Copies of this chain bind each other. A is one copy, B any other.
Amino acid sequence: MTATLLDGRATAKAMRAELNEAVAEFKEQTGVTPTIAVVRAGEDPGSVWYANSIKKTMAGRGMDSQLHVLPLTATEEELVALVAELNADPSIHGIMIQEPMPKGMDEAAVKAALSPDKDVDGVHDVNAGRLANAAPAGRPPGVRPFFVPATPAGGMELMRRYGIEFSGKNVVIIGRSPIVGKPMALLLMRENATVTVCHSRTKDLPAVCREADILCVAVGRAEMVKGDWIKPGAVVVDFGVNDVEGKMIGDVAYAEAAEIAGMITPVPGGTGPMTNIMLCQNLLVAAKRKAG
């Protein structure tokens, strides 16, 4: 093990302390408690776990969360009506719609019903579009304010706090999902990195990865990225969360990779702990924007 650990647990802890202060200050100035509404239909175990985790993290920061659960038999119209109600409720600053939604429901239509200003998870097309249309960092953005999904936002923040520079770096991202790979690519392009997005159809993926100064992996395949795919000294950011016989394993073969990389996120304890805290930060931003 030679790589420096990109310690998401320690970083999230530091951010929690900062956020506690910022929330307290906001509440004192405005009398308003930032409040998120978590919405779902049914009791998917992953969603139940995540909603509890959000509630706990929010409470720890002095922020409120409400849980709105419809039965699994709820119709799209009912879910959209609930979202519309929460959009209109001035005491709610952020809304998260948990997935999976019930089978057969048009998820795109439900997400489109969100107010972009309350879309603290960055899933609305308007928020994705503003990120895509935003000018490089440092220039006037040319777009209205937007929210970035918490997972890629957390990966960026973790790298920033370790002083990693992006400008002119070769970045390779494996995975092109709308919630991790693509926003990560757009965020790093904004920071003047040269970004390559890879996926299952990429030819000679190991060779492409070996060119990366920064390698970000979000594919959902345990230990797919081997040590010899990594350029010596590179930064490796692993978004993978794979359950292998009850153990949480990343997309990167950690032990091998840590011998080669310059900096690396562990799994667990890397990008994972950053996600909830970024959601908290987005909620505070939403509440501040509303307070003007």
A120-159 CB mask vs B (1 if < 8 Å, else 0) is 0000111111111100100000111000000000000000
Q: Are A168 and B203 in contact (CB-based, < 8 A)? A: yes
Contact status A132-B186, CB under 8 Å: yes
Q: Which of B108, B128, B142, B201 contacts A168 (CB 8 A)?
A: B201
Given contacts A125-B143, A126-B129, A142-B108, whether A199 and B194 have CB atoms under 8 Å apart is yes
> Which residues of chain A from 260 to 274 have any CB-CB distance to chain B below 8 Å in the complex?
none
Contact (Cβ within 8 A) B194 A202: yes
Cα distance A176–B191 when bound, in Å?
12
Check A47 for interface membership: any CB of B closer than 8 A: no
Most interface-central of A107, A129, A189 (chain B CB within 10 A): A129
B201 touches A167 (CB 8 A): yes
The answer, yes or no, to whether A170 is at the interface (CB within 8 Å) is yes
A:176-219 near B, CB below 8 Å: 176, 178, 182, 185-186, 189, 192-199, 201-203, 208
Q: Which residues of A contact B (CB under 8 A)?
A: 107-109, 112, 124-133, 136, 142-144, 167-168, 170, 176, 178, 182, 185-186, 189, 192-199, 201-203, 208
What are 30 A-to-B residue pairs whose CB atoms are below 8 Å?
Answer: A108-B142, A109-B144, A125-B125, A125-B126, A125-B130, A125-B133, A125-B143, A127-B129, A128-B128, A128-B129, A129-B129, A129-B130, A129-B132, A131-B132, A132-B178, A132-B186, A133-B178, A136-B176, A142-B178, A185-B197, A189-B197, A194-B196, A194-B197, A194-B198, A194-B199, A194-B202, A194-B208, A195-B196, A195-B197, A196-B196
Given A124-B129, A129-B131, A142-B178; 16 other pairs, CB 8 A cutoff:
A107-B142, A108-B143, A109-B144, A125-B125, A125-B143, A128-B130, A132-B186, A133-B178, A167-B201, A168-B202, A168-B203, A170-B203, A176-B189, A189-B197, A194-B196, A194-B197
